[in-house]
Amino acid sequence: MMMDIPLTTQSMLRHGLSMFGRKEIVTRMPDGGTMRHTFAQFGERVNRLAGALQRLGVEQGDRVATFAWNNHRHLEAYWAVSSMGAVLHTVNIRLFPEQLVYIINHAEDQVLLIDSDLLPLIEGVADKLHTVKHFVVLSHETHDTKLPHALAYEPLLADAAPEFPWPELDESQAAATCYTSATTGNPKGVVYTHRSTYLHATAAGLADGLGLRERDCVLPFVPMFHANTWGLAHASIFFGSKLVLPGQRPDARITLELIQDERVTVPAGVPTIWISAVPLIESGRYRLDSVREVVCGGSAIPPALFTKYDSFGLPFLHAYGMTETSPLATFSHLRSWMDEWSDDRKLAMRAKQGTPAQGIDMRVVDDDGHEVPRDGTSFGQLLMRGPWVADEYYNDERSRDTFRDGWLYSGDIVTWDEDGYICIVDRAKDVVKSGGEWISTVDLENAIMAIDGVAEAAVIGVTHPRWQERPLACVVPRPGVTLTKEQVLEPLRGSFAKWWIPDDVVFVEEIPKTSVGKFQKRDLRERFAGYALPDS
């Protein structure tokens, strides 16, 4: 028999503080400077925050929401709220006002912690937030906010004790909740338990995961309000990695400056940030030799981007997951038997979403629920289950459509090869069905974005009288570049079947994106609904 020790955020925090007290948390501040805390100093502030929240009436099971950027105060909430037995709710700052009202009311948040520059977004909806009892401004003062009975964060901490009597917790208790950035309908809530949070962070430290360790310096460009910060806010403290938080409104320039100045080894973000960083890196102004791996996920990575970053000496690690999987589910590390493969063959494997993390089970099934062959070409929907995979949405009848027979139905259409690597070919709602055959918009987009002069590209299906749907390419040229339709289509003709080639190309100023940087194809489909394709 083994000791029955619950896996909780408390135990992760205790280990991080006791083993790595001298390690550093760095936050980029609004004035461009940095705020620095040791883990030991951070631990005292976490204690004080837990005490302050308790004095505000927060009890176990109550929801405490954050509306904030990646900074040290947000990080303190990450650990204090869950470790005191309450439930952290990280609210996406880029949601529409109606969605903000919905999720804060749906989660029944009792306290809302708000970065001062984001106050106007909450002030505009405050009268509709029926459960929030306390608004706390993450600052030294309340900044004359219109919010009722607003409190300032730093005075609350100053009045609290530097120690907190942490309660005993059950590992099955809720620790945090995130809401999906839904493309249709209201966002859906996903609840993470202490056990799932602990195991997910542990997976990030595995060698075939992110391989985080004490010697690393981690920079999460991925927002702390999105999908658990990919587990980096927890794993960095647990494993003792220096943590660099980019603060408000970070961009590619700020990211590269922080990588250079803080000697970051593991930066993490979605492809859009790494695409926008390319010309800055090409300028040669930044020293980036500290980086051992760039973690990229959130959407498919164009192979051309892999090649570009390889030329910079900045290797990419492709990771995949969903809010429902905490989110890390797969990693695209090359296996030992691939060492002798050609560079092109290796690149093709790295561009896939990879193999399941230890602890994650996967299936790929067709519309009838039958598993598709693991041949790397047959399409099917990806199903997942595991100890950090959700089994329902929070108080939402849509659970029955997504969670069935103990599996999460991801909505991602993938192939699976004999080595266990999955490759997303589309979202179920984005795939183009032409004459009953599927066309992968992701494959087409990757090929188009490899063309000189193309900055971004999205492919959507538009109605066709004979074939049901046909692909339309929406292309953003690089600044100062003029492209023609033929310059986009001609390179595709040698790589894809004739019936895959888009029927037309439209040039747009930008590709709409979701709040977390993914292409928002729904907006393009609405914009080009009824688009008249040329006669073929």
As a residue count, the chain comes to 536
Token pair of 69, please? 């950027």
429 included as an active-site residue: no
Q: Which residues contact 379 (CB under 8 A, 6 or more apart)?
A: 366, 372, 413, 414, 415, 425, 438
The residue among 264, 221, 260 whose CA lies nearest residue 241 is: 264
CA of residue 80 relative to chain centroid, distance? 22
Based on the residue annotation, tell me whether 272 is a catalytic residue of this protein: no
| Unique residue bearing structure tokens 């306290």 | 111
What's the CA gap between 314 and 278, in Å, rounded? 11
Tell me the backbone φ, ψ of residue 276, rounded to 5 degrees.
-70, -20
461 — phi, psi (to 5°)? -95, 135
**Per annotation, catalytic residue among 341, 438, 463, 485:** 438
Catalytic residue (one of 76, 171, 262, 324): 324
Which of 360, 361, 339 has the alpha carbon at shortest distance from 349?
Answer: 339
- Record the tokens describing residue 235, joined without a space: 């794993």
Helix-strand-coil split of the chain, %, nearest 5:
30, 25, 45
Please report, for residues 302, 377, 416, the alpha-carbon distance to residue 447 in angstroms, rounded to integers and kept in the order given.
7, 17, 20
Strand bridging mode 87-90 / 174-179: parallel
**Known catalytic membership, residue 123:** no
> CA-CA distance, 77 to 65, in Å (whole number)?
9
Catalytic residue from among 433, 490, 499, 526: 433
- Smallest CA-to-CA distance from 216 within 265, 257, 260 is with 265
Burial class (CB in 10 A: 0-12, 13-18, 19+), 162: exposed
Residues whose CB is less than 8 angstroms from the CB of residue 348 and which lie 6 or more positions away in sequence, other chains included: 303
Cα distances (Å, whole numbers) of residue 98 to 7, 12, 125, 223, 513 = 36, 36, 8, 21, 18
Supply the DSSP string of 271-290, one letter for each residue: HHHHHHHHHHHHTT----TT
The answer to whether 25 touches 75, Cβ cutoff 8 Å, is yes
Helix (H, G, I), strand (E, B) or coil at 88: strand
Cis omega (within 30 of 0) on the bond before 327? yes
How far the first Cα of the chain sits from its last, in Å, is 71
- Taking alpha carbons only, the member of 28, 40, 37, 63 closest to residue 258 is 28
CA dist 505 and 488 (Å) reads: 8
User: Which amino acid makes up residue 77?
Assistant: A
Catalytic annotation present for 341: no
**Of the listed 90, 142, 180, 255, which one is catalytic?**
180
Tell me how far the alpha carbon of residue 140 is from its chain's centroid.
30
Q: How far is 463 from 232, CA to CA, in rounded Å?
A: 42
Residues tagged active-site: 180, 324, 433, 438
